[in-house]
């Protein structure tokens, strides 16, 4: 795997297309060729080749006739297969949606397309976003670019691998409990979860509506910020969306790290964290410190309960959101069922995978009248406490920092028979999701040859500040890593 990307920054690609230096058609062909060349990694469920090439041709014609196509002129990208997109099926990697053609496109996709971006393929995921390894895809498992015997992380594993293997300059994922951040950490790219509501969820297949967000994955924070600037803002089709900042999210001058107060979350640096991960995170915090940031320890005692809260609230919402897949309106339907009840049962029994069923059952249980107070209500109470703790700590520090996951990428099959073990991989990402704050993962070197990602978080709606700080952090950390590497080569 080469470390040099063949894609320049998203801004440069768009400028080159607009100025006629390269055509959108050439770029789409290049992306499709790389997808084909790297198909052994199984990052992609399907391409949208015909539509992508048609759009590229239109864009090239518009440019030839003198029009300005937009900020993302001709930039190819890949969307996780839980985004409604024209040009191929939308399956969410679940058998129950096989054969489903989107009747409209997600707002995020529409906004990217309106600036000239071109979706070339749909990325693999854990079905419906349930998981952290892509092993819960009903179709196949995506492979880690650094070691094909390991998982790429998930659920947006296909999107992360597509970026790391240079198929496209950026990819869309979703992040309900870490699904864009954890694969970025496991596969080695930047992953971003916005403030809840900053980017519209309209046309994205719902997992858990109170924590679902749209994730962006790319090689650099600058690229992420550039794309986020296009997608952010209120959408009449999603009533939970919030106003965007009036200023651009684009990172123009990398912020200075000097004087920024960064709270290192104690609960994320203690027991259960792989020593290699801890070392890489400590080394990257040292870089921030050298650049003038103030690093202080902080404690969020209720974080101890965050995983428990997440795995009550999220399945509850999943059980409600998945009830629409009943084999009647769209997706898989058992053709042999001879009455409505049998049709419901057999379509769902065949169409849903084991993890979706587990979550539907857990969710229905915690919402049932006898257990609602003991589980769902209590979980929401603890969630409120967690929000209060985060708010209080974020009054005192500018950013929070810690690892993204307790380990690096694990082996394919290692956790598949033990759902609890699999859920533990989410312990450091679900906090930001329950609280609704933005979180950004930047590469922070490697542990035993596998990527580690530094997770940075801040207050709700402070996404601009997080992205500009993150860009500066990424550049300082990567400089330090490459200078260390060259010193090692010299000695």
Query: Is 6 marked active-site?
Result: no
Query: Is 357 marked active-site?
Result: no
For residues 413 and 344, give the distance between their C-alpha atoms in angstroms, rounded to a whole number. 31
For the bound state, the minimum distance from the C-beta of residue 426 to ligand GLN, rounded and expressed in Å, comes to 4
CB nearer to ligand GLN: pick between 177 and 197: 177
For the bound state, the minimum distance from the C-beta of residue 355 to ligand GLN, rounded and expressed in Å, comes to 8
Residues in the chain: 491
Asked if residue 34 binds ligand GLN (CB under 6 A), the reply is no
For the bound state, the minimum distance from the C-beta of residue 449 to ligand GLN, rounded and expressed in Å, comes to 24
For residues 273 and 271, give the distance between their C-alpha atoms in angstroms, rounded to a whole number. 6
**Candidate segments 39-47, 129-137, 324-332, 401-409, binder of ligand GLN by CB under 6 A:** 129-137
Asked if residue 183 binds ligand GLN (CB under 6 A), the reply is no
Tally Cβ neighbours within 10 Å of residue 402.
Answer: 23
Asked if residue 135 binds ligand GLN (CB under 6 A), the reply is no
Asked if residue 97 binds ligand GLN (CB under 6 A), the reply is no
For residues 437 and 391, give the distance between their C-alpha atoms in angstroms, rounded to a whole number. 10
Among 175, 326, 389, 480, binds ligand GLN (CB under 6 A): 175
CB nearer to ligand GLN: pick between 309 and 471: 309
Alpha helices in 339-491 (DSSP H): 340-351, 354-367, 378-396, 419-424, 430-435, 463-490
Q: Which residue, 271, 278, 204, is CA-closest to 241?
A: 204
Asked if residue 130 binds ligand GLN (CB under 6 A), the reply is yes
For the bound state, the minimum distance from the C-beta of residue 462 to ligand GLN, rounded and expressed in Å, comes to 21
Among 176, 220, 408, 460, binds ligand GLN (CB under 6 A): 176
Tell me how many residues contact ligand GLN (CB under 6 A).
14
Q: Report which DSSP code applies to 408.
A: S
Asked if residue 178 binds ligand GLN (CB under 6 A), the reply is yes
Our CA dihedral for 338, 340, 342, 343, rounded to 10 degrees, sits at 90
Catalytic residue among 94, 106, 133, 155: 155
Asked if residue 179 binds ligand GLN (CB under 6 A), the reply is yes
CB nearer to ligand GLN: pick between 7 and 192: 192
Query: Is 193 marked active-site?
Result: no
Among 76, 131, 158, 188, binds ligand GLN (CB under 6 A): 131
Tally Cβ neighbours within 10 Å of residue 115.
Answer: 17
Annotate each residue in 416-435 with x if it binds ligand GLN (CB under 6 A) or - if it does not, as one string: ----------x---------
Q: Which residue, 175, 85, 77, 87, is CA-closest to 126?
A: 175
Asked if residue 80 binds ligand GLN (CB under 6 A), the reply is no
Asked if residue 194 binds ligand GLN (CB under 6 A), the reply is no
Asked if residue 159 binds ligand GLN (CB under 6 A), the reply is no
3-state DSSP assignment of residue 173: strand
Q: Which residue, 55, 118, 49, 128, is CA-closest to 95?
A: 128
Q: Which secondary-structure segment (H or E) carries 179?
A: none
Q: Which secondary-structure segment (H or E) carries 270?
A: none
Asked if residue 213 binds ligand GLN (CB under 6 A), the reply is no
Asked if residue 73 binds ligand GLN (CB under 6 A), the reply is no
User: In sequence order, which residues have a C-beta less than 8 Å from that of residue 71 and are 6 or more positions away?
Assistant: 11, 14, 115, 116, 226, 229, 230
Estimate the crossing angle of helix 463-490 against helix 221-231, to 10 degrees. Answer: 160
Q: Which residues are catalytic?
A: 80, 155, 179
**Site residues, ligand GLN (CB under 6 A):** 129-132, 155, 174-179, 207, 314, 426
């Amino acid at each position: 795997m080469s470390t040099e990307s063949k894609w320049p920054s998203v801004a440069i690609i768009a400028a080159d297309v607009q100025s006629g230096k390269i055509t959108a058609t050439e770029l789409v062909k290049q992306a499709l060729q790389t997808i084909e060349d790297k198909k052994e990694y199984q990052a992609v469920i399907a391409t949208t080749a015909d539509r992508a090439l048609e759009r590229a041709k239109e864009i090239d014609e518009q440019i030839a006739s003198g029009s300005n196509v937009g900020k993302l002129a001709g930039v190819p990208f890949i969307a996780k297969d839980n985004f409604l997109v024209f040009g191929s099926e939308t399956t969410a990697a679940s058998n129950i949606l096989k054969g489903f053609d989107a009747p409209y496109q997600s707002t995020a996709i529409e906004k990217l397309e309106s600036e000239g971006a071109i979706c070339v393929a749909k990325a693999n995921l854990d079905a419906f976003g349930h998981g952290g390894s892509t092993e819960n895809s009903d179709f196949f498992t995506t492979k880690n670019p650094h070691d094909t015997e390991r998982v790429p992380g998930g659920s947006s594993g296909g999107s992360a691998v597509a970026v790391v293997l240079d198929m496209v300059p950026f990819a869309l994922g979703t992040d309900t409990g870490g699904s864009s951040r954890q694969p970025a950490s496991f596969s080695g790219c930047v992953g971003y979860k916005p403030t809840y509501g900053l980017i519209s969820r309209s046309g994205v297949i719902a997992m858990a509506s109170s924590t679902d967000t749209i994730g962006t994955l790319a090689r650099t924070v600058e690229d992420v910020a550039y794309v986020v600037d296009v997608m952010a803002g209120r959408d009449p089709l999603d009533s939970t969306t919030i106003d965007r900042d009036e200023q651009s999210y684009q990172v123009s001058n990398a912020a200075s790290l000097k004087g920024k107060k960064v709270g290192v979350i104690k609960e994320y640096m203690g027991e259960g964290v792989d020593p290699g991960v801890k070392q890489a995170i400590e080394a990257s915090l040292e870089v921030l410190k050298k650049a003038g940031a103030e690093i202080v320890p902080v404690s969020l005692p209720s974080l101890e309960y965050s995983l428990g809260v997440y795995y009550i609230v999220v399945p509850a919402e999943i059980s409600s959101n998945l009830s629409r897949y009943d084999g009647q309106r769209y997706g898989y339907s058992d053709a042999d069922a001879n009455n409505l009840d049998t049709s419901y049962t057999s379509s769902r029994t065949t169409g849903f995978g084991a993890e979706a069923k587990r979550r539907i059952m857990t969710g229905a249980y915690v919402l049932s009248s006898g257990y609602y107070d003991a589980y769902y209500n209590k979980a929401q109470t603890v969630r409120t406490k967690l929000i209060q703790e985060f708010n209080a700590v974020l009054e005192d520090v500018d950013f929070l920092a810690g690892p993204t996951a307790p380990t690096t990428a694990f082996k394919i099959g290692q956790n598949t028979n033990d759902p609890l073990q699999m859920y533990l991989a989410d312990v450091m990402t679900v906090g930001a999701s329950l609280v609704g704050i933005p979180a950004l993962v930047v590469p922070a070197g490697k542990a035993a040859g596998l990527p580690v990602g530094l997770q940075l978080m801040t207050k709700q709606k402070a996404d601009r500040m997080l992205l500009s700080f993150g860009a500066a952090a990424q550049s300082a950390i990567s400089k330090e890593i490459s200078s260390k590497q060259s010193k090692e080569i010299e000695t």
